[in-house]
């Protein structure tokens, strides 16, 4: 699958699964909030301290220019973008922290 098709598929999935949201008070299209996402944290130096951490994760379109520290108002609550997990060019996934 080409990169263009992958990007199109990610945005199509966000359009179906996301809900209209505001980023810093400005409409940012649809955003998806996932609760209890398991993120594997590994250390390259050691193999005895590799563990799994559970976070809430938001997926937003990269065109909305999301950045760490911005506030996302979503129908499921209000969140602060805490840490970037993934940026594939068309969407960005962030660890979010509830602020309300």
- What pLDDT digit, counting tens, does each position of 51-66 carry? 778 899 999 999 999 9
In this prediction the pTM is 0.79
Cα 69 to Cα 96: distance, rounded to the nearest angstrom? 9
Cα 95 to Cα 2: distance, rounded to the nearest angstrom? 27
Instruction: Tell me the CA distances in angstroms from 94 to 4, 67, 89, 91, one per residue in order.
Output: 22, 9, 14, 10
89 beta partners: none
pLDDT reported for residue 35? 93
Q: Which residue has the tokens 């990269």?
A: 62
Cα 88 to Cα 77: distance, rounded to the nearest angstrom? 25
Ranges of residues in the chain with a pLDDT under 50 are none
Query: What percent of the chain lies above the pLDDT cut of 70?
Result: 73
Cα 77 to Cα 93: distance, rounded to the nearest angstrom? 17
pLDDT reported for residue 1? 55
């Amino acid at each position: 699958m080409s990169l263009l098709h992958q990007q199109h598929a990610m945005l199509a999935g966000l359009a179906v699964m996301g809900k209209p949201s505001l980023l810093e008070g400005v409409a940012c299209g649809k955003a998806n909030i996932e609760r209890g996402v398991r993120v594997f944290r590994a250390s390259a130096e050691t193999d005895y301290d590799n563990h799994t951490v559970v976070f809430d994760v938001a997926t937003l379109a990269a065109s909305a220019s999301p950045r760490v520290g911005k506030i996302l108002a979503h129908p499921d609550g209000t969140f602060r973008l805490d840490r970037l997990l993934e940026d594939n060019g068309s969407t960005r996934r962030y660890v979010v922290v509830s602020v309300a």
